[in-house]
Amino acid sequence: MKVLRIIARLNVGGPARHVVWLTGALDDGEFESRLLAGTVPPGEEDMGYFAEQNGVSPRYIAELSRELSVKDAISLVKIYREMRSFRPDIVHTHTAKAGTVGRVAAFIFKWATWRTLIGRPRPVRVVHTFHGHVFHSYYGRAKTRLFLFIERVLARAATDRIITISEQQLDEISGRFGVGRPQQFSVIPLGIDLDAFLGRAASRNILRAEIGAADDDIVVGFVGRLTEIKDLPLLIRAARRALDKASGGPKMRFVVIGDGNVRSSVEQLIRDEGVAAAFHLLGNRPDVVELLPGLDIIALTSRNEGTPLSLIEAMAAGVPFVSTAVGGVVDLAGKVVDGRESFSVCERGVLAGERSDGSFSDGLLYLAKNEKLRQSLSTAGRAFVLERYSKDRLVSDIRTLYRGLAR
């Protein structure tokens, strides 16, 4: 069975690793897989090296990496030509841009044949995975409505199966935004290489030595792209509040691992808020797995998320989190066990009650001062991830879905 997988670009983040793992694992005799990807624009780290490390050789389409525009006719033609050459049984698109252009190309590939005249279009099946969505917080109202209209049309006319990566995301996309039909959806959580996080306790000192943190300092980390949707200003303002209130308590340090187009404004805001002495911006790092054990808390301030791989990996490393209540983060956190005025302590994490620096700093400071809670969340979070988020489980779930579509 031939599978053509399409993603907008292999930039730093969960979707790139997800598609590389699936392409490599599902190229095994039962499946023949090919990966199409756009090029990574300047200012973003290219994870082509990760594909190479996993024995995957993507075919690149430069036009696929830009925002939607009339010039996407070029990428549409190129993808269609790949389909004519490869003749896939399944087309699986990932991320919004690739999902739009890829599914239009698959629709044309399916129906643009003389056999359609006798009721026998090409038997290609189309799958789309929502790693996140662009239905709020990314664009203005008019553009958001346009993208939502396009997605509703493509879901019903050009998609056989829609994958969400969490139950919360399913509720949003199918329920709140009315995309697709309920029977089209499957929930398949992300998967990670869990082996990379086993036996890492000894690496706690790697990060702490690099930033000069004492053993009793509380090190709070952010891991991800520095883009508008991640809302680093919220973290910086919350950090300033927490530092103002933390006198007499443990010393707090903040580590930002990642890079992106808003780095300069992030650096300026850190200076403006007077917290430069407490912040360490490390840029993109290939050794994140070795750095995570040095954190006491991981923070996520995103306006919109699917299920953030950064939190899953931190939980696998035994690092508790404080986050805004977005997307699949709610599923990672679990049920509320202690609802407070401005934040909630959940089974496996702490969620800010609202999008404000006061709410976020309250939850952050509460966790920083409560070592017993950090240990409890660490144990519960790690057990949860080890049980549900293995790479092998992800591959098995996708394999089962493909087999079902082929019947």
| CATH code for the structural domain at 2-191+390-406 | 3.40.50.2000
The three-class DSSP label of residue 156 is helix
- Which of 329, 3, 45 is CA-nearest to residue 166? 329
Provide the pLDDT for residue 140.
74
- Which of 58, 125, 139 is CA-nearest to residue 97? 139
Provide the pLDDT for residue 71.
77
Provide the pLDDT for residue 132.
73
- Its pTM stands at 0.87
Q: How far apart are CA 294 and CA 254, in angstroms?
A: 12
- pLDDT tens digit string along 165-215? 989 889 989 998 999 999 999 999 999 988 888 776 668 899 999 999 999
Structure tokens at 206: 């790697």
- pLDDT tens digit string along 32-52? 999 999 988 777 788 899 999
Task: Compute the mean pLDDT over every residue in the chain, rounded to the nearest whole number.
Answer: 92
Q: How far apart are CA 362 and CA 343, in angstroms?
A: 7
Q: Kindly report, as residue ranges, where domains of CATH 3.40.50.2000 are found in the chain.
A: 2-191+390-406, 195-388
Q: How far apart are CA 308 and CA 42, in angstroms?
A: 23
Q: What's domain 195-388's superfamily in CATH?
A: Glycogen Phosphorylase B; (3.40.50.2000)
Provide the pLDDT for residue 80.
97
Provide the pLDDT for residue 55.
95
